[in-house]
Amino acid sequence: MEHLSRQELEVIHEIPLYRHFVEKWAQVESFQARPDDLLISTYPKSGTTWISEIVDMIYNNGDEEKCKRDAIFNRVPFMEMSCPGLLNGTEQLDMVPSPRLVKTHLPVQLLPVSFWEQDCKMIYLARNAKDVAVSYYHFYQMAKMHPDPGTWDEFLGKFMAGKVAYGSWYDHVKGWWEKKKAYRILYMFYEDMKKVRKGKRWGWGARGSCSKCPLSLRKEGDFNIYLGMCRAPLTVLSEHVPIINECSLTTLPWESSSVTPVELRLDLHWGGRPKIRNFSYANNVAEVGVS
């Protein structure tokens, strides 16, 4: 099938994207957000499905049966998605009653202006670049809509250069971090969510704090409970598309790597860039962090 064949990425406003996404870009750019929309934004391979399941469960008051009603990509439509023969993301969202949950991977500068005009609530989930790179490499290999990733070393070079779908990880997390100063954005960290799931409590007022919290539930206990839930609805997703377990540095093809290990390469690449003000990421790329 044509839409499953590997194709080179195209560029829209300096950001690499899939060709079919670019072809329908006018519909994305003119998308009309609603005041009660909640936007879930991530860089690819950063826990998008996990946070989507959590928020959908919160919206359904913890009712697992309601969360089994459909696959996650129908419960939380992917706004910029476009695939021949299927409804694109904007068309799908137009049919969804309010309040809507909306998924995107777009960098902050490409988000349709209507989201800012409507002062929509937003959640941004960030994940460390090292694990993102490994997971993205495996995803490139599986999903044929991507160009051929080549070897791990070749892909890592493209990832660091921002020549993968959705561009630079660094610019993505930085752009959304800076934007939260002026808008209702709850900025979260994948690694913090993993700690909570392992039994460690995460203070709601810590890294995820936001004076204009986009969730209706603000009690620490409530949110920690939801972080550990949402396992059952994944069976609905698995009936529709294959699931790849979250990849990390432990799944890296070290035996094929003939260059400096990924951690050092990424640290050297991003370590010289300006630090992101007030952004702290433990054990991440050169503390892509904060003053």
Domain positions in the chain: 2-243
pLDDT at 252 over 60: no
> If you write DSSP's letter for every residue of 86-138 in order, what string do you get?
S--HHHHHHTSPSSPEEEE---GGGS-HHHHHTT-EEEEEE--HHHHHHHHHH
pLDDT at 291 over 50: no
* Per-residue pLDDT at 270: 62
Q: Which residues are catalytic?
A: 105
* Per-residue pLDDT at 144: 87
> 68-107 pLDDT, tens per residue?
888 888 899 999 999 888 899 999 999 999 999 999 999 9
pLDDT at 259 over 60: no
Query: Average model confidence (pLDDT) for the chain?
Result: 76
- pTM greater than 0.85: no
* Per-residue pLDDT at 72: 87
- CA distances for 2 relative to 17, 92, 142, 145, angstroms: 17, 22, 16, 9
Average pLDDT over residues 143-165: 93
Task: Pick the more confident residue, 221 or 47.
Answer: 47
- CA distances for 263 relative to 56, 118, 220, 272, angstroms: 34, 40, 33, 15
CATH: 3.40.50.2020, 3.20.20.70, 3.90.1150.10, 3.40.50.300. Which one for 2-243?
3.40.50.300
- Give dist(CA 163, CA 9) in Å, integer: 9
* Per-residue pLDDT at 59: 87
Average pLDDT over residues 108-117: 98
The pLDDT > 70 percentage for the chain reads 66
